[in-house]
Amino acid sequence: MTPQDAASVAPSTPAPSPGALPAPPRLAAKGIVLTGASSGIGRATALAMASEGAALVLAARDEAALQGLVRECEALGGRATAVPTDVTDPEAVAALARRALEVLGQVDVWINNVGVGAVGRFDETPVAAHRRVVEANLLGHIHGAHAILGAMRQRGRGTLINMISIGGWIPTPYAAAYSASKFGLRGFSEALRGELVDLPGVHVCEVYPTFVDSPGLSHGANYSGRQVGAPPPLIDPRRVARVLVALSASERPRAKTYMGAPALPGMFAHALAPDLLARAMGHVMRRALAGAGPALAADGNLFQSSRTHEVDGGFRRQRRPFAAPGGYVLLGLMAAGAAWALRPRRA
């Protein structure tokens, strides 16, 4: 766990002495809505929160997958309700909020966790795919915030968590719509937090993991003609889930959480030399795709629910000789950016 992660997670408590009562579950009094719950980070988070006693309303497009997850959550001691929802539909998200308030009585935490992507050259990727990525990643989060903030404002309490990824700071060539959605989501979250400054009990949190070993990449759309993988180091989805549990349990959660070794170097590189970083990322992505095997074009889970619903993506078990370790790449980019920004200039 990085220092940034540690700052977000509640400190560990000493082991209880013999005969002492066990600590109560951290989320026993919390009503939580989680979108994108059926796989990856969402599934890991639902299970982690259930083990902490949370009352959950779980949303995703696949009702059968949600019902199976409900049973797993209840076996761990939590309460869970499935509400099939497509976050690109604002009316469906408003209905999700109404159902959550009906079931939970109050929504303490709303986690916007849906995220999709489309890999391929911008002009060779269908416009409908670009549009769908923005609708899910950006408008889906906006729909969630709009549906629940009125109730949080009226109550004077609540936490809204937006899952963004480090893609909100670092451009991702060959996934231009993904970059647009994540950069936009970062701006939306910051603007919303400023708007809610008069409500100290209402919090807007952003979580920025680097590459996570979730099924997201294999489930996403691919128009590149090449197999898509994830560069190391990869984060276990359960580690992200622990951070989300800690943020949800806190009465004063931190606004921004960065996860993964490349996160801060990448942000510094973007601050020092954004154009150089974009060009360098373009070279890295182009080389990675050129070294990958062929693949057929596929819409993935853009327009229909994912085929499988695991927590792990399985990328940590694969050997990818053409993928340079992301942390070292970004550290190098940061150094190059600093050298470029601080180079002597002629008058």
Query: What are the residues whose beta carbons fall under 8 Å from the beta carbon of 194, sequence distance 6 or more?
Result: none
- Full DSSP string of 149-174: HHHHHHHT-EEEEEE--GGGTS--TT
Residue percentage of the chain with pLDDT more than 90: 70
pLDDT in tens, 287-322: 889 888 999 999 999 999 888 899 988 887 765 433
Are residues 78 and 72 in contact, defined by beta-carbon separation less than 8 angstroms? Answer: no
**Is the predicted pLDDT of residue 282 greater than 60, yes or no?**
yes
Question: Is 178 an active-site residue?
Answer: yes
User: Is 12 a member of any domain?
Assistant: no
- Full DSSP string of 227-290: ----PSS-B-HHHHHHHHHHHHH-SS--SEEEESTTHHHHHHHHHH-HHHHHHHHHHHHHHHHH
User: Is 7 a member of any domain?
Assistant: no
**What integer is the mean pLDDT of 322-345?**
50
Could you give phi then psi for residue 202, rounded to 5 degrees?
-110, 125
**Is the predicted pLDDT of residue 344 greater than 70, yes or no?**
no
**What's the domain count of the chain?**
1
What is the per-residue pLDDT for 27? 96
> Predicted confidence band at 329 (pLDDT cuts at 50, 70, 90)?
low
Query: What are the residues whose beta carbons fall under 8 Å from the beta carbon of 97, sequence distance 6 or more?
Result: 33, 107, 144, 147, 148, 151
Q: What share of the chain is helix, strand, coil (3-state, %, to 5)?
A: 45, 15, 40
Catalytic-role residue among 174, 178, 208, 223: 178
User: Is 78 a member of any domain?
Assistant: yes
User: Is 95 a member of any domain?
Assistant: yes
Q: List the domain range (segments joined by +) for residue 295.
A: 26-340
User: Is 288 a member of any domain?
Assistant: yes
pLDDT in tens, 93-127: 999 999 999 999 999 999 999 999 999 999 999 99
What is the per-residue pLDDT for 24? 80
**What integer is the mean pLDDT of 140-162?**
98
Strand residues in 47-173 grouped as ranges (E): 55-59, 79-82, 109-112, 118-119, 158-163
